[in-house]
Amino acid sequence: MSVRLKLTLSYAGFLMVAGGLLLATVWVFLLRYVPDRSTFGPGPFTPTRSDLADAFTPRAVQALVVLLVLGLVGGWFLAGRMLAPLTRITSATRRAATGSLSHRIELEGHRDEFRELADSFDAMLARLEAHVAEQQRFAANASHELRTPLAITQTLLDVARRDPDRDVGELLDRLQVVNARAIDLTEALLLLSRADQRSFTREPVDLSLLAEEVTETLLPLAARHGVTLEASGERAPTTGSPTLLLQMATNLVHNAIVHNVAEHGTVLIRTSVEAGAALLTVENTGEVLSPRLVSTLTEPFRRGTDRVHADHSGVGLGLAIVDRLVQAHDGTLTLAARPTGGLCVTVRLPAA
């Protein structure tokens, strides 16, 4: 049976039970006190219990039949009115199952259980639509980025085949650079996939130790760019994957170094604990960035101000990987342009 039919029968059954109890109450508390024998004598006629029962029983049966009909008709109508929002939700679910994620229920009326369910479903559809669009855009960008080094490799090989006297050493050097870029991009894509799947074991991690390790590792790169690294702060314990969190910190500091175009630039790395959260903050000097540009820096294959650096152009996934890693660790990533130029990135993770 459908839910509507079940509700209808339940409503009719309730009316029948209520009517039966009412008639039983009349019988128990009224008719049983009427004497069963007629009292003869002067005065008006006095009916006996049998007379009242003979007159009351047919009317009681008729009342129960009327209640049954009213219960069935009224219950069917009321159940239809109550389940109408559920029908709209079911229709939207079927449309979503066919791949149409742009449809919304937009249920009107008071905020009852059906309204809350419809609003939650609309929010879920909005998130799914945004996620699917992001995945499609990412897949298209990844295909384009992976095709570029392959096309360059094919071009270099074709040129070498047509020109046998070409310098082999120069060709090998260019092929090595292109191949290294393809490897870096593939590893970045795998890291993104691993972060999205959250396939890692959580362990105690101190962000201050990660900051020190990253500072020591990237100190030579900072020296080549003429950038000063400064690390400070207190212990910032959290839980997560030490490898992934180290990668997150490395990407942040690496981006801060290679995108620091200020003369004698500086990169500040700080760790702290605030309101039950472990914080890692990376600030770098540089040119003034617009808020609109800052809001797009976590998008995949976005390379800051679209500059290409001589020693490391990057694959455009640095901050995108940081964003996914922070989300995988149930944290938040905040980017803000510094008034004097440069960028301030704050990672907030749940404290251990």
Of 39, 73, 100, the one marking the end of a domain is 100
- Is 128 part of any domain? no
In a shared domain, residues 163 and 217: no
Contact 20, 92 (CB under 8 A): no
- Is 133 part of any domain? no
In a shared domain, residues 316 and 212: yes
In a shared domain, residues 178 and 234: no
pLDDT (tens digit, 9 = 90+) per residue, 177-235?
778 777 777 776 776 666 666 667 889 999 999 999 999 988 888 888 889 999 988 99
In a shared domain, residues 207 and 193: no
Residue 280 confidence (pLDDT): 94
- Is 105 part of any domain? no
Distance in angstroms (rounded) separating the CA atoms of residues 283 and 93: 46
Residue 183 confidence (pLDDT): 79
Residue 45 confidence (pLDDT): 61
- Collapsed DSSP state (helix, strand, coil) of residue 175: helix
Contact 320, 299 (CB under 8 A): yes
Residue 58 confidence (pLDDT): 83
Residue 192 confidence (pLDDT): 67
- Is 311 part of any domain? yes
Distance in angstroms (rounded) separating the CA atoms of residues 334 and 298: 10
Residue 303 confidence (pLDDT): 54
List the CATH number of the domain containing 262. Answer: 3.30.565.10
> Most distant CA pair in the chain: distance in Å?
144
In a shared domain, residues 213 and 344: yes
Parent domain of 330: 203-350
Residue 239 confidence (pLDDT): 92
- How many domains, in total, are found in the chain? 3
- Collapsed DSSP state (helix, strand, coil) of residue 220: helix
Query: CA nearest 346: which of 293, 241, 269?
Result: 269
In a shared domain, residues 215 and 315: yes
- Is 208 part of any domain? yes
Query: CA nearest 214: which of 160, 173, 255, 171?
Result: 255
In a shared domain, residues 339 and 323: yes
Tell me the β-bridge partners of 335.
345
In a shared domain, residues 186 and 280: no
Distance in angstroms (rounded) separating the CA atoms of residues 314 and 194: 20
- Is 156 part of any domain? yes
In a shared domain, residues 148 and 251: no
Residue 305 confidence (pLDDT): 47
In a shared domain, residues 256 and 323: yes
- Is 224 part of any domain? yes
Residue 210 confidence (pLDDT): 92
Of 100, 118, 146, the one marking the end of a domain is 100
In the predicted model, residues of the chain with pLDDT beneath 70 are 29, 31-47, 49, 138, 141-142, 144-145, 148, 188, 191-199, 300-317
In a shared domain, residues 189 and 216: no
Q: 271-309: b or e for each residue (b if 16 or more CB lie within 10 Å)?
A: bbbeeebbbbbbbbbbeebeeebeeebbbbbbbbeeeee
- Is 118 part of any domain? no
Of 197, 218, 246, the one marking the end of a domain is 197
In a shared domain, residues 172 and 236: no
Please report how the helices 242-258 and 318-328 are oriented relative to each other, as an axis angle in degrees rounded to 10.
Answer: 150
